[in-house]
Amino acid sequence: MIFCPSILFGQDATEIVTKAHEKMQGEQSLAEMTMQIIRPNWERSISMKAWSMGEDFSMILVTAPARDKGSAYLMRENEIWNWIPNVNRTVKMPPSMMSQSWMGSDFSNNDLVRESSIVTDYTHTLLADTTISEYDCYKIEMHPKPEAPVVWSRVVTYISKDEYLQLRGEFYDEDDTLVRVMNGSDIKEMGGRLLPARMEMNPVEESAKKTIITYQQIDFDIDISEQFFSIQNMKRLD
């Protein structure tokens, strides 16, 4: 591309991705959300709270349904743990489990616990301008860096120009086949920021399946420290 978009817009692809990531995550945050898993013959709803601090610390607590209530997931730097209260057991999750489905949904363990980072684990290339749901967007291709904990051969993300909203993501496997698509919608103000309140993940080859995450609220002004993200605290969250 002779006429480099990074010159025209005064920023490069990595800067755009970083701004979008920081807007959605923040330095510290607490989110309340519901996940709806939709299958041809059944549906399931899971409610949860999620805390995060920077890139290295996150915690998810399942609050409903009753059979899963109290289950929790912890990422602390390079270690990821799962607390299963029904059997009073803590499990350290190996890297091989990160690409597996999170509680039967179309999101992976990595999507929810965020072992990999769209900022630090990928290189970014600005492809073109496009439009998603009437928003003018940057189209950015991301390739995993060597040794990054990523299962995708590449990801194409669409980020709005005005508000740095992550409106679409396309995920390709090692054969460069499009495997799944994530769409962000229902743009509203949460935690003082304009954000997509609905994230829908669709497996490309199984159109009857989808998983929808709906954010009820996000707070970016919480007071939290590294000590919060401990195995002991994971067991006593409510």
Nearest Cα neighbor of 98 from 79, 71, 121 is 79
Strand, coil or helix: 12: coil
Query: Which amino acid appears at position 214 of this protein?
Result: T
Query: Which amino acid appears at position 16 of this protein?
Result: I
Kindly tell me if the per-residue pLDDT of 2 is higher than 80: no
**189 strand-pairing partners:** 194
φ, ψ (nearest 5 deg) of residue 14: -65, -40
How much is the average pLDDT of 32-57? 95
pTM exceeds 0.85 for this model: yes
Average per-residue pLDDT for the chain: 91
Q: Retrieve residue 155's tokens.
A: 């990801």
Give CATH superfamily name and number for 5-235. Answer: Lipoprotein localisation LolA/LolB/LppX (2.50.20.10)
Domain extent listing, the chain: 5-235
Question: How high is the pLDDT of residue 9?
Answer: 44
Burial grade of 136 (CB within 10 A; 0-12, 13-18, 19 or more) = exposed
167-221, pLDDT tens digit by residue?
Answer: 999 999 999 999 999 999 999 999 999 999 999 999 999 989 999 999 999 999 8
Sign of the C-alpha dihedral, residues 193, 22, 160, 106? negative
CA distance 169 to 153: 13
Question: How high is the pLDDT of residue 166?
Answer: 96
Question: How high is the pLDDT of residue 6?
Answer: 39
Query: Which amino acid appears at position 61 of this protein?
Result: L
Q: For the beta carbon of residue 20, count every other beta carbon within 10 angstroms.
A: 23
Kindly tell me if the per-residue pLDDT of 11 is higher than 80: no
- In contact, 147 and 22? CB cutoff 8 Å: no
Q: Retrieve residue 179's tokens.
A: 């495997």
95-138, pLDDT tens digit by residue?
Answer: 778 788 999 999 988 888 776 689 999 999 999 899 998 999 99
Token pair 């899963």 is at which residue?
Answer: 68
End-to-end CA distance of the chain: 52
Question: How high is the pLDDT of residue 5?
Answer: 43
CA distance 218 to 214: 11
Q: Are strands 178-190 and 193-203 parallel, antiparallel or unpaired?
A: antiparallel
